[in-house]
Amino acid sequence: MSETTSSRPPHWFDPIVAVYKKDIDVTLIDENLKLTPAQRLDNLQSAVRGLTVLRKAMEESNAKRDKGGK
pLDDT in tens, 21-70: 888 899 999 999 999 999 999 999 999 999 999 999 999 999 999 988 65
Question: 7: number of CA atoms within 13 Å, CB side?
Answer: 0
Query: Domain boundaries in the chain?
Result: 25-70
Residue 60, judged by CB atoms within 10 A of its CB (0-12, 13-18, 19+), counts as: exposed
pTM for the structure as a whole: 0.58
C-alpha 47: how far from chain center: 12
